Structure 1
Amino acid sequence: MIIKQAMVLAAGLGTRMRPITETMPKPLVRIGGKPMIDYVLDALVAAGVQIVVVNVHHHADQMETHLAKEERVEIRISDERDQLMDSGGGLTKGLKLLDQDQPAMVMNADLFWVGEPDNEPDNLSRLALRFDPLRMDMAMLCVEQERTTGHNGKNDFSMADDGRLTRFAPGALNPVVYAGALALMPHLCDDAPDGPFNLNIYFDRAIATGRLFGTGLNGQWLTVGTPDAIAPAEAVVARYGGSR
């Protein structure tokens, strides 16, 4: 399966990145000379995505100006200037701008990876192949703690041998971190509540029905949540020579 449409969640306030984000949106913070959202767009393009919805709120004009330069994919803006919708509400609003009958990727604008092996399919192509809407509500990229940079040390899920995910509990086997990329069918959110809500509602529902699956990420995963995290992230990017 090749997934040709995606949404990038990019509307957050970036409060922990202050004072940098007082004058710019977090997705435009540069790591290794490149805005974080460009690492995300590069990955989507490499996987064959053609249409990308990006939601905007904080310093929305800067985001729109930057995205207007993107020529490799069609960019559609989901405008949250009037109300920030949180991860679930923002996703629900943005997905309405995509084909409801075709699968979609969802990515966070400030989470990315470097160092994928050249002799294997890229992470998002592998995720697309993994996603089976008959068996799954969502399939997500996951990564082990030892291949993260800037993470808080907490595990999100345990991954079974068949890839099925459950919430992590102390002592559970195969702990993994959600790597900020997933695949779903847009109509999954048709019953979403009005207004802002957290996407974890859908994660928990999928777990309850045995329909949340994961696949392991190749490479080194980075999250840059504070100004102090920039230097370690740039060191990793330099070590791997940039994105794939």
Structure 2
Amino acid sequence: MTIKQAMVLAAGLGTRMRPITDNIPKPLVKIAGKPMIDYALDALADAGVERAVVNVHYLADQMLDHLGSYRRMEIIISDEREHLMNSGGGLAKGLMLLDRDAVLVMNADLFWIGERDGVPTNLERLGEFFDPERMDMALLCVELQHTTGHNGKRDFSLAQDGRLTRYGDGMVDPVVYAGAIAMSPSLFDDAPSDAFNLNIYFDKAIARGRLYGLVLQGHWLTVGTLEAIGEAEETIRRISEVAST
């Protein structure tokens, strides 16, 4: 299916990137000359998304100014300035600003490069993969060797049929959660009204056998520290040089 609405989680404090984030919100930190959140927004627009909710909290006025100038889709603000809702609570609040159709969810500080021209994008593939009859959520995942800036932790084990379970020592086919989800908003109809972590819903879906994963095509980058900025920019330069030869 083509998913036309999205939620971008962008309300984090970015404390591990201080002192840069003393004066700028983490989603607006530039990587290779481009604010991190624009990598997420452009990926959504490329996949056919027409409107997206973005939650804001820290240095929200800067976020509002930046998002107000984005033209590739309609941007709706979920304001968390009074109360930070964590990943799950922020998503639950933001979903109330969208309709009941399927939605893509992305983190503002995780992105990928190296998609091939002329084939469906990763988010288009994720939308086509998502089957609400069988799945609570479909997660975009990545193999550890195709990551930059990650701490080495393996999040899930990916079965042959696409089902995900929490990774444990000795398990096969480990993957990392790449920060993108396809899901139905109705999944969060029972969500608490206060702050909570999104992992709660991952575990609920696993218990029902309804958490599935799709492997990312390309290279994935996470930028959570000052050192990771240089690592990400070097990876982008290297992969861009390879692609141009």
TM-score interval w.r.t. the shorter chain?
A: over 0.9
Q: Secondary structure at the match of 1:241?
A: helix
Alpha carbon RMSD of aligned pairs, Å? 1.1
Query: 2:44: which partner in 1?
Result: 44
How many pairs are equivalent? 242
Query: 1:73: which partner in 2?
Result: 73
Q: Secondary structure at the match of 2:48?
A: coil
> How big is each residue's C-alpha offset from its partner over 1:115-150, in whole Å with a ceiling of 9 and x where there is no partner?
112242110000000000010000010001000000
Q: Secondary structure at the match of 2:154?
A: coil
Query: 1:200: which partner in 2?
Result: 199
Query: 1:14: which partner in 2?
Result: 14
Question: How far, CA to CA, are the matches of 1:161 and 1:67 in structure 2?
Answer: 40
Letter of the aligned partner of 2:77 in structure 1? I
**Residue correspondence of structure 1 range 159-198 to structure 2 within 5 A:** 159-198=158-197
Identity %: 66
**Residue correspondence of structure 1 range 62-101 to structure 2 within 5 A:** 62-100=62-100
Letter of the aligned partner of 1:20 in structure 2? I
Q: Does 1:154 align with 2:133?
A: no
Q: Secondary structure at the match of 1:124?
A: helix
After TM superposition, the score normalised by the length of structure 2 is 0.97
Question: How far, CA to CA, are the matches of 1:34 and 1:238 in structure 2?
Answer: 13
5+ residue gaps, structure 1: none
In the TM superposition, what is the alpha-carbon distance from 1:185 to its structure 2 partner? 0.5
Query: 1:234: which partner in 2?
Result: 233
Q: Secondary structure at the match of 1:53?
A: strand
Q: Which 4+ stretches in 1 moved above 3 angstroms?
A: none
In the TM superposition, what is the alpha-carbon distance from 1:71 to its structure 2 partner? 1.0
Query: 2:29: which partner in 1?
Result: 29
Letter of the aligned partner of 1:69 in structure 2? S
5+ residue gaps, structure 2: none
